[in-house]
Amino acid sequence: MILLALMVLSFLMGSVPFGYLTAKMKGVSLREVGSGNIGATNVLRSVGKLPAILTLVGDIGKGTLAVVVARHALNDPFMEGIVGLSAIAGHNFSIFLRFKGGKGVATSIGVLLAYSPRVALITIVLWVMVVYFTKYSSLGALFAFVVLPLTMYLFDPVKAKVLISVIMTLLLILKHADNIQRLIRGTEAKLGEKI
């Protein structure tokens, strides 16, 4: 019952669309501009740097908080991961946006920061490096998370955590299907580029 309650609360917390709300404060309907995504990258393109930073902090924070609360209440790596995944699912399928949402990258990073800090740091470094050299935020996220299960296996080899990392990766790939097609076609927008 505790796990179920935390999953519901985590999903609701994950559903809070920080990007959408931040843009709305600037008079911008984020679903109707740029890529239509509610994440920090589209906020950066459509509204500016400070709103993008606020969005990033909010989206990371809700993932981290979900796992921290679960750890204190459950103290079980698999259950903590399930609660973290619930926050990601809430972000990806926000109840406040008719079950539409973001890609889940920042919230996934937030989950990892509490769930496996060393692996989170490696994932962030890989993401930043790919983005730095290619200027594609989506490619950086995809690369960092495709190798996440391997990274988890090498640096935090707890079976439950490796399994959770696989599910996290699958969720992220699912939400990036359109980005993958655009990357293949060469039409994906680069970081900071107006679309």
C-alpha span between 139 and 157 (Å, rounded) = 26
CB burial string 71-97: b at 16+ within 10 A, e below: beebeebebbbbbbbbbbbbbbbbeee
| pLDDT > 80? residue 31 | yes
What share of the chain in percent tops pLDDT 70?
A: 98
| pLDDT > 70? residue 195 | no
Average pLDDT for the chain: 94
**Secondary structure percentages of the chain, helix, strand, coil, to 5:** 75, 0, 20
- By mean pLDDT, which of 38-52, 66-80, 139-153, 164-178 is the weakest? 38-52
Question: Average pLDDT of 78-82?
Answer: 97
| pLDDT > 80? residue 110 | yes
pLDDT single digits (tens) 156-171: 999 999 999 999 999 9
**Interior CA angle at 149 toward 99 and 81, to 5°?**
50
Looking at residue 193, its pLDDT comes to: 66
Tokens of 28: 């911008």
| pLDDT > 70? residue 42 | yes
Structure-token match 């935090």, residue found: 156
Report the DSSP beta bridge partners of residue 100: 94
